[in-house]
Amino acid sequence: MEFLLATPVVFYAGWDFFKRGWSSVVRRSPNMWTLISIGVGTAYIFSVVALLVPSVFRHEFKDMNGNVHIYFEAAAVILTLVLLGQVLELRAHSKTNSAIKALLGLVPPVARIIRNGEETEIPLEEVNVGDILKVKPGEKIPIDGRIYSW
């Protein structure tokens, strides 16, 4: 039963992990995907051999009834937890991106600048270091800088 339940998890859900693991081996740059693919692949292959041909194992690998321990559930659980971690990470990234976009939306598109005694509105891209900006009460401050009260 474990074999039937773990096989789709390992080959369907875990296929991308095996591709990434193989790619990291080819590039000679082992990483987390290498570790996951080696661990899950080894547990799955060991379990398949133990299930189909238990006679190839020495008695140290067998329990009191002569059965070899299998690790299908370990392979499936590892992949499931890694996938869950990736989903949580993607959700966190999405929330962070949304928060940054919301913060960028708070910045006004123009700044009120005082040059030669005259007040004009210019795009934020045209504001230079040393320019004097005027911010009226209740307005958003368009850029970072020093604040002086007049």
Structure tokens at 88: 């949580």
- With cut-offs at 50, 70 and 90, classify the pLDDT of residue 108: confident
CB 89 within 8 A of CB 81: no
Position 35 scores a pLDDT of: 94
Give the integer Cα–Cα distance in Å for 84 and 129.
47
pLDDT tens-digit map of 116-125: 888 999 998 8
Give the integer Cα–Cα distance in Å for 36 and 126.
51
How do 118-123 and 132-133 pair as beta strands?
unpaired
Position 106 scores a pLDDT of: 81
- With cut-offs at 50, 70 and 90, classify the pLDDT of residue 147: confident
CB 87 within 8 A of CB 59: no
For the sheet containing 110-115, what is the strand order? 118-123, 110-115, 132-133
- With cut-offs at 50, 70 and 90, classify the pLDDT of residue 7: very high
Structure tokens at 147: 């604040």
15's enclosing H/E stretch is: helix 15-26
pLDDT tens-digit map of 12-35: 988 999 999 999 999 999 999 999
**Phi, psi (rounded to 5 degrees) for 53:** -135, 70
pLDDT tens-digit map of 37-50: 999 999 999 999 99
Structure tokens at 36: 């996951």
At residue 103, does pLDDT exceed 80? yes
pLDDT tens-digit map of 66-98: 889 999 999 999 999 999 999 999 999 999 988
At residue 59, does pLDDT exceed 90? no
